[in-house]
Amino acid sequence: MTSASGCWELELWDVVRAAPEQIYALMTAPADLARWWGPRGFTIPEVELDPRVGGRYRVTMQPPQGDAFHVTGVFREWEPPHRLAYTFRYEEPSPDDQETVVVLTFPQVDAGTEVVLSQGPFTTEERLLLHRTGWTESLEKLRALVDRPRAV
């Protein structure tokens, strides 16, 4: 989707069968975030997180092939368990990368929690599509984590 300014904005939503408190915790606890963040095949060897407005985060992402890279930013909103917003930038950007803002909300619905995500602005459709794929696969991994039977 293109905004009035001509920049690209990403909007996604999904329903996860868990309470908003559980989803918020999975999004904001470093060890839990490392279990589902990133596209299929990626691992997250390190997560640094200062959970407060103005706090910083840094996520190390390891693709299946190639060198690790880092995503970093600052929390703009921290409203457990309803809303989370932060800046998003690559420490090793490509020429078309720029800092974006991610906003996540977690309204409760009959089936669990609706995860509503917006991110932007992106400078190119290619960058938007890269993030759409990454977030779509990440949310699939989050759903699978929540749906996984727990050992008794």
> Which architecture characterizes domain 8-147 according to CATH?
2-Layer Sandwich (3.30)
Mean pLDDT of 6-18: 92
Q: How far is CA 82 from CA 13, 27, 40, 49, 79, in A?
A: 14, 12, 27, 18, 6
- pLDDT for the residue 94: 86
- pLDDT for the residue 7: 81
Phi, psi of 85 (to 5 degrees): -140, 140
Question: Considering the chain, what percentage of its residues have pLDDT values greater than 70?
Answer: 93
pTM: 0.92
State the sign of the Cα–Cα–Cα–Cα dihedral 75, 115, 24, 81: positive
pLDDT class of 4 with cuts at 50, 70, 90:
very low
Domain boundaries, the chain: 8-147
For 19-77, the pLDDT digits (tens) are 999 999 999 999 999 999 999 999 999 999 999 999 999 999 999 999 999 999 999 99
- pLDDT for the residue 1: 55
Q: Which of the pair, 136 or 7, is modelled with greater confidence?
A: 136
Taking a C-beta distance cutoff of 8 angstroms, is the pair 20, 81 a contact?
yes
Pair of tokens at residue 130: 């890269």
